[in-house]
Amino acid sequence: MTVPAWGQSEVPTLTGRVVDQAEVLSPTVERSLTALLAAHEDTTSNQVAILTVPTLDGVPVEQYALRVAETWQLGTATFDNGALILVAPADRAARIEVGTGLEGALPDVVASRILRHEMVPHFRSGDYEGGIEAGAVAVVGALEGTYTPPPVEATAAEQGDEFRALLGFILSGLLVIASAMLGMSTRGRARRWGLFAGLLIPYGLVGWLVGSGFGDMDIGIAVFISVLILHVIFFIMGSSRGKGAGGTSWSPSSGYSSSGGSSYSSYSSGSSYSSSSSFSGGGGSFSGGGASASW
């Protein structure tokens, strides 16, 4: 299956605080969510929107959510205080995209826990409406300072995620040490570049382990780049030492290391807010903060 270009996966028009293209929300729940998000904006100026799409058409959920958030410009230009909750049922993927001004109140780790604890359990049973409701309430609660994540009683899946992240960090440390030793012992430009290329694969694996463990590949990419930079530094150091030694051989042994406090139920379906109310982004910006989940 080919991945479509962005032009083939258009960003939906922002018609309201809740844009339900996947048609998983009843009119009553859509009105309740709209009222919740509108009241939150009236109180804080934060703009939170919900988007459901039937499918992402092969586009990674992180890329699609960021594109939507940037196009809609949720939040104000002054505070960049926007957030997007995206759900794609057919792809079993969801993401909470967080504007740069809200990353303190809604950091990646909290967004990830909202997805895993409040939303995904509903989605796994086919209850998309309940999952979106719970996620919206938790996001608003986190932004208002009333959301308390459930006690960490890690599931088998979460333990697996934590193990991958921990394993990735351990391997990155071991690879850095190995790079230091090899970089200062390997002679010959061809050999050094060959070794450099050979280590790119394990470095990529380390990045993937960390990124998948945290549920955010941006973290994995950051680890990959960091380890790669250290790798280059050690190899340069080794090259310099090799030249200074007048061709003397160096060896590794030479001594040279949902329990949110908010409740959408307080907003009745008869609220004056509706999904057709005039609503538009205020010029907020996004930098890729947030978290993703699949089920």
Task: Show pLDDT as tens, one digit a residue, over the chain (295 residues).
Answer: 333 443 446 899 999 999 999 999 999 999 999 999 999 999 999 999 999 999 999 999 999 999 999 999 999 988 999 999 999 999 999 999 999 999 999 999 899 999 999 999 999 999 999 999 999 999 999 999 999 877 655 455 555 556 666 666 677 667 667 666 665 565 556 666 666 666 677 777 777 776 666 666 777 687 778 777 776 776 666 555 545 444 444 444 444 334 444 444 445 444 444 444 578 776 777 878 889 999 8
Q: What is the pLDDT of residue 255?
A: 40
Report d(CA 140, CA 259) in Å as an integer: 12
Q: What is the pLDDT of residue 256?
A: 38
> Cα angle at 207 between 239 and 166, to 5 degrees?
110
Residues 292 and 215: beta-carbon distance below 8 Å:
yes
> What is the tens place of the pLDDT at every residue in 180-225?
666 556 555 666 666 666 667 777 777 777 666 666 677 768 777 8
Report d(CA 37, CA 131) in Å as an integer: 16
Who contacts 229 (Cβ-Cβ below 8 Å, separation ≥6)? none
Which domains are assigned to the chain? 6-150+262-294 (3.10.310.50), 158-244 (no CATH)
The 10 Å Cβ neighbour count of residue 177 is 13
Q: What is the pLDDT of residue 258?
A: 43
* Mean predicted lDDT score pLDDT of the chain: 77
Compute the chain's Rg from CA coordinates: 24
Count of positions (residues) in the chain: 295
